[in-house]
Amino acid sequence: GAGVSQSPRYKVAKRGQDVALRCDPISGHVSLFWYQQALGQGPEFLTYFQNEAQLDKSGLPSDRFFAERPEGSVSTLKIQRTQQEDSAVYLCASRERTGNTEAFFGQGTRLTVV
Amino acid sequence: GDSVTQMEGPVTLSEEAFLTINCTYTATGYPSLFWYVQYPGEGLQLLLKATKADDKGSNKGFEATYRKETTSFHLEKGSVQVSDSAVYFCALRREYNFNKFYFGSGTKLNVKP
Q: What is chain A's mean pLDDT, rounded? A: 94
Return the closest-CA partner of residue B22 out of B79, B61, B54, B70. B70
Residue A108 C-alpha, separation from nearest chain B C-alpha, in angstroms: 7
The residues, ordered by sequence, that sit 6+ positions from A59 with a Cβ below 8 Å of its Cβ are A36, A44, A45, A46, A47, B100
The pLDDT of A98-112, averaged and rounded, is: 88
Span B3-41, pLDDT tens digits: 999 988 899 999 999 999 999 999 988 899 999 999 988
Span A1-51, pLDDT tens digits: 579 999 999 999 999 999 999 999 999 999 999 999 999 899 999 999 999
Residue type, A63: D
Chain A residue with CA closest to B32: the answer is A100
A30-34, A52-56, A99-103, B79-83: which range is least confident on average?
A99-103
**Cβ contacts of B59 on chain A, cutoff 8 Å:** none
Chain A contact present for B96, CB below 8 A = no
**Cβ contacts of A98 on chain B, cutoff 8 Å:** 98-99
Residue A94 has a CB neighbour count (10 Å cut-off) of: 24
User: Hey, are the CB atoms on A107 and B42 less than 8 Å from each other?
Assistant: yes
Chain B residue with CA closest to A99: the answer is B98
Where do runs of H (alpha helix) occur along chain A? none
For chains A and B, count residue pairs whose Cβ atoms are closer than 8 Å.
Answer: 54
User: Hey, are the CB atoms on B100 and A105 less than 8 Å from each other?
Assistant: no
Q: Quickly list DSSP for B30-97.
A: --EEEEEEE-TTS--EEEEEE-STT-EEEETTEEEE-BTTTTB--EEESS--GGG-EEEEEEEE-TT-
**Residues A77, A30, A61: CA angle, nearest 5 degrees:** 30
List Cα–Cα distances, A84 to A4, A38, A108, A114, in angstroms. Answer: 27, 11, 18, 6
The residues, ordered by sequence, that sit 6+ positions from B21 with a Cβ below 8 Å of its Cβ are B6, B7, B11, B74, B75, B76, B88, B90, B107, B109
Residue A54 C-alpha, separation from nearest chain B C-alpha, in angstroms: 12
